[in-house]
Structure 1
């Protein structure tokens, strides 16, 4: 009889969902080696090289199973969140078979799944397993998503829903109201829209789980965490910050970036990156380029092929050379002041380098945690999903970021505004205040994950629950 306790994890599709759940599994097993974890991965298409690399380098006590590819989705032009939900939904028969097989061979006790894998809860229920939502973003957005079903019930028409329900929203545990512009676009669709209906279904299932495992920590979101923990169910486990210790390195780019950074003064370089799937339009790419040049500050910029679709690189990368889309002469003029790399850079190592003095970020939660842990001031440039909520948290609640103003006529951030924001976080009194505040958060993150810290205690409490189910 195998004495190990087994847990199955079902991440939401996509690299940016797989990585934090893998890092959580590593953290759990590092501190509680009596568990074995099996990842069961829903797919629409073959795994990307980056995802394959993550899976191929898992430690021995983490196994993985890739489910058969879903043949097709019923509609085209779906939001990424909707695509992810439907991929998992159509993978449920495959998931059932794998869970049944694991139960026959192991002491499987629980399913832990991502936000867009909530259909896995039904499988957990079917096989009498405990179920936990691993929430890879912050407590703030989770608190809002938990209120969405009630907000949806409170209005009687689509027009009323769009015009009044979200003029401002008070999120439980947050000290400031959120405006309509801060809310994920998928929620602002008409209620008959398939993307909205499917996301509402996700939110309606949230309270069915046994617990929320959240990649945050008490000092970062104290009031929201307190409000979530006051509810009798589900239990809340703030176990973060959960971030990578190292990037999945592409050696040539890795060494090139770090070599260049070694030759720059301390706190002198702005790192510019829009996450694993974010893109901007060609017009915005040009304005950003000219703005970086105008600022006179050093920069390391990860450039992607521009697109009017802000998440065009989420599932599939572009084949063109991104550098071809930069303004004429930009690379030559800035060869002494900046380093531009196509598509990917070793973000973990870059943000931890002493020459980095600022981060122009899309405010995905993984990047948010990495910049907090490393104590790097932020220019908040959200693109999609809950990133605008994260940006508002960074700028108006935590006050460790500045946010560029969008031009009313063109709908883009002009070069002068880019340059202004770069200077705001990298020179002057405002910069010093921001640096002081984010250093305090960085210290708080270190304390939370220390031996007697709040996140370590939360993880131990979760491990005990998993054992005793």
Structure 2
């Protein structure tokens, strides 16, 4: 049989709910179909908790022919989840309930060659072990979090107190110490169900046939984390599954609705690298007071900007829109300082709730990105050569911010950060003005832009034939065949 006659390997994907995990797994699936002749069954959880934007992504007319979206049987999860749950706990319970029909679905699909899941879908390991289907974990965060996650079960055994009460940073084998202030949200309270869920998920990582990470070699050379995982005796003795760098898997194009065309038209009339894009991903929200300070700082900076505004979340967590993204749009004007829109007319553009991020970041007029530092947004910024101002809100975003600012050196952190009542971090307008000016017109901003553009070039090469990620994926596909 010639190479052209070899049947396409059938691979299944299964992301947990949430746009931030759905997007990179869907992009990986598209890449396998288009560039590596793989047949994909893309399984999606189907219940009333599914984010509204999920429907737009999985029913896009741009999906390739051999990528088939299959909804798992509808599951009523109303009895086991509620709005007061932390996101990770809620996602875990949704997956547990939804996977009750997973075995039957995989059998109906004639047992795919492999299943690719994300970190919150680890109940699939137990089902696939029985069916003898290899399971790969797709890690939607950088190797910095992967190193911590693989080490967490050992850390949990050795440390008795809360991690936030440790007198010093956390020593991760073969890697740099992790500052306590940068710990991801689920690790802040070990008594909480969220921590127990995360620990259970990372404990299962060693069951994976391999771990795909959404990054690439040149980016990882800027830090020590991958080297630690690959070479430190702790990870070798786990044993840790093979780690494959397969990124940057990001949205390369994004449909711009008629209602959003005015944004790109406005950008067309601005000078190159002159506009700061301000957005907090698919679920990020600010308090009323912080939104006022942000708007005031932007106004004081006298820099061009696009500001995506959502209803403030004074009584919710900083990820208050996680399950509602794409469901509705608010009128942003009522949440901003009185007269702000009128005073900044021509200088700034206010957009309600959501903006087409990829077209904005790829536009030549965009020169900076004030971001929550979610890894998808981070990769989109890097892939377009745009330096960043870090504004982490939840999950592992503080770790990402430190990585971007201190190791990769394409971002700046606000320095003066105080605490609101209730412990939430708060950045004043004067500090916002300072960092915006630094990135948009300062010498430090120019240096970061040059470094970002260098990474832009390496990102473009990574997933093309001959690139590090492309060739690695090719070798894995050959093993499936």
Q: TM-score range by the shorter chain?
A: over 0.9
Alpha-carbon separation, structure 2, partners of 1:463 and 1:224: 26
Give the conservation status (yes or no) of the 8 Å contact 1:271–1:299: yes
Give the conservation status (yes or no) of the 8 Å contact 1:356–1:376: yes
- SS class of match (1:408): strand
Matched, 1:440 2:454: yes
Give the conservation status (yes or no) of the 8 Å contact 1:53–1:248: no
1:407 Cα offset (Å): 3.9
1:456 Cα offset (Å): 1.0
Q: Give the equivalent residue in structure 2 for 1:196.
A: 195
Give the conservation status (yes or no) of the 8 Å contact 1:73–1:87: no
Q: Give the equivalent residue in structure 2 for 1:101.
A: 108
- SS class of match (2:109): helix
Alpha-carbon separation, structure 2, partners of 1:370 and 1:413: 25
1:192 Cα offset (Å): 2.8
Change over 3 Å in CA distance of 1:455–1:196 after alignment to 2? same
Which deviates the most, 455-464 or 359-368? Answer: 455-464
Give the conservation status (yes or no) of the 8 Å contact 2:183–2:399: yes
Give the conservation status (yes or no) of the 8 Å contact 1:54–1:248: no
Q: Give the equivalent residue in structure 1 for 2:390.
A: 380
Q: Give the equivalent residue in structure 2 for 1:415.
A: 429
1:201-212 matches, cutoff 5 A: 201-212=200-211
Give the conservation status (yes or no) of the 8 Å contact 1:216–1:241: yes
1:153 Cα offset (Å): 0.3
Give CA deviations for 1:153-181 in whole Å, capped at 9, x if unaligned. Answer: 0023xx354422x731233454x422111
- SS class of match (1:69): coil
Matched, 1:273 2:283: no
Q: Give the equivalent residue in structure 2 for 1:289.
A: 295
Q: Give the equivalent residue in structure 2 for 1:37.
A: 40
Change over 3 Å in CA distance of 1:466–1:382 after alignment to 2? same
Matched, 1:337 2:347: yes
Q: Which runs of 5+ in 2 are unaligned?
A: none
1:69 Cα offset (Å): 2.4
Aligned pair partner of 1:62 in 51, 58, 67: 67
Q: Give the equivalent residue in structure 2 for 1:310.
A: 318
Q: Give the equivalent residue in structure 2 for 1:357.
A: 367
Give the conservation status (yes or no) of the 8 Å contact 2:19–2:54: yes
Give the conservation status (yes or no) of the 8 Å contact 1:112–1:134: yes
Aligned pair partner of 2:165 in 143, 163, 184: 163
Matched, 1:15 2:19: yes
Alpha-carbon separation, structure 2, partners of 1:385 and 1:74: 22
Give CA deviations for 1:93-135 in whole Å, capped at 9, x if unaligned. Answer: 11111111111xxx62111101100111112111111110011
1:110-259 matches, cutoff 5 A: 110-156=114-160, 159=161, 161-164=163-166, 167-172=168-173, 174=175, 176-189=176-189, 191-222=190-221, 223-230=224-231, 231=236, 233-253=240-260, 255-259=261-265
Give CA deviations for 1:301-328 in whole Å, capped at 9, x if unaligned. Answer: 1111110320000001466423321111
CA RMSD of aligned residues (A): 1.9
Give the conservation status (yes or no) of the 8 Å contact 1:73–1:83: no
- SS class of match (1:357): strand
1:408 Cα offset (Å): 2.8
Give the conservation status (yes or no) of the 8 Å contact 1:395–1:403: yes
Give CA deviations for 1:183-217 in whole Å, capped at 9, x if unaligned. Answer: 1121111x332111111101101111000111100
Alpha-carbon separation, structure 1, partners of 2:162 and 2:14: 37
Q: Give the equivalent residue in structure 2 for 1:395.
A: 405
Give the conservation status (yes or no) of the 8 Å contact 1:290–1:415: yes
Alpha-carbon separation, structure 1, partners of 2:163 and 2:451: 37
Change over 3 Å in CA distance of 1:173–1:302 after alignment to 2? farther
Number of residue pairs aligned between Structure 1 and Structure 2 = 457
Give the conservation status (yes or no) of the 8 Å contact 2:119–2:138: yes
Q: Which runs of 5+ in 1 are unaligned?
A: none
Give the conservation status (yes or no) of the 8 Å contact 2:49–2:323: no
1:406 Cα offset (Å): 4.6
- SS class of match (1:306): coil
- SS class of match (1:354): coil
